[in-house]
Amino acid sequence: MINNRIDLLRGVAILFIILLHAWYFTPGYDGFKIFNYFFAKLHIGIQLFFVLSGYLIAQSWDAIKTRENRLTIFWIKRVFKIVPLYYIFIHLSILYFLVMKNFNVQYVPANFSVNIENLNIINYIVHIIFLQGFAPKWLDTLVDGGWSIVVEVYFYILYPLVFSRLCSTALATLRCYIVGLIFSMIAGGVFGYWLQLGDYSYRNFIVQIPCFLVGVFIFHIIKEKTKLSSSAECDNWVLYGNFLCMILLFGMVKGNVEPLGAHHIYALIFGFFLYSMLTSSKELSFSTFYIFLQLLGRHCYSLFFLHIFLLNFCKDFFSNNFLEFGFYTLFSINLCCSLLGSLLLSKLYFNQIDCFFVQLAAKITAKIK
């Protein structure tokens, strides 16, 4: 039941991301201002992924925290889940660029894709060991969307070492979340206004930590079924709740969401949705659309990489060569290729690879105490 609801939310998140990229990969999208505003908001799918990751990581750690070699077990599962497809698509992206460049020396890759300037041994090594999160100029240069994968990897590394201790209860997680918001605003200001690093003020790990902690908080709230057992505990909740409201108000001092950042508001909203979904007693609908979203959710990791790869293919072989088809036709082609094409390839090949390594990790960790 819970897995189905998580898959449903994952499906919503990846659908948002696919729609966003299908729109921006279509030539002429900038001529539709009203639609641009709508599609630009679909980046919130990333925040939904982060909230879900926070919940699932807290759940995963809680299930093994009494085992002797819990750190080894935890990291083996994370490595076998993240690394194989990540490495495959880094090398597929590089290979695709080299093939296209070989056939057409004037080939111009899409933004945030492999190009001749960023294809070098240092950048390659940095991506292989997940260090591009500390090098703003190399983010999203060998695999588009890689910045979010790296942010998740950093959280996976730090959770058992740091956050599992700091966030042992719902109240402790709330304290940690408040501190995280403060550091997020400071980091956003340093990277965005002082160092003038542009998108890195949003795409760095420190700024995104609170989004994960929302998911961790929801896990503890559900696990504890929080009851205020004493007046002192009630006072603590009121104190930290008021402090959180003050931070949120300060973060929107400009009358919008600056310097807090809209992504934190979205994460809180998604946290509410997650809590509502997981605690609802209502049965999920078995409509075709719900089933389709759950299918997308089960394949979301491979779809995340595949849809970008296929959109690059569409850009090179369809969009740039058939402009006379019109914008809406090209957008429809992009959407079909990125959504249905990537889902088909995922079912046939890439999700099979993903499942193989997940099952392999389960067999290995089952033998560890």
pLDDT tens-place string over residues 283-304: 766 678 889 999 999 999 999 9
Q: Each residue of 25-82: pLDDT tens digit? A: 988 888 888 888 888 889 989 999 999 999 999 999 999 988 888 999 999 999 999 9
Nearest Cα to 351, choosing from 290, 303, 313? 303
> Based on the number of CB atoms within 10 Å of its own CB, is 277 exposed (0-12), middle (13-18) or buried (19 or more)?
middle
For residues 235 and 213, the answer to whether their CB atoms sit within 8 Å is no
Which candidate, 306, 339, 303, 334, places its Cα nearest to that of 319? 334
State how many domains the chain has.
Answer: 1
Whole-number mean pLDDT of the chain? 87
Specify the pLDDT at position 256. Answer: 62
Q: Do residues 127 and 138 lie in contact, with contact meaning Cβ atoms separated by under 8 Å?
A: yes
* 3-state DSSP assignment of residue 112: coil
Domain, as residue range, for 119: 2-366
Q: Is the peptide bond before 259 cis (omega within 30 degrees of 0)?
A: yes
pTM for the model stands at 0.91
| Confidence band of 272 (pLDDT split at 50, 70, 90) | confident
Examine the pLDDT at 226 and tell me if it is beyond 60: no
Output the CA angle 90-17-339, nearest 5 degrees.
Answer: 80
Tokens, residue 219: 């896990």
Q: Is the pLDDT of residue 246 over 70?
A: no
Is the pLDDT at 248 greater than 70, yes or no? Answer: no
> Residue 21: its pLDDT value, please?
93
Instruction: Give yes or no for a contact between 81 and 156, defined as CB atoms under 8 angstroms apart.
Output: no
- Residue 43: count other Cβ atoms within 10 Å of its Cβ: 16
| Span 236-251, average pLDDT | 63
**Is 90 exceeded by the pLDDT of residue 109?**
no
- Predicted local confidence at residue 54, as pLDDT: 97
Place of tokens 């931070």: 247
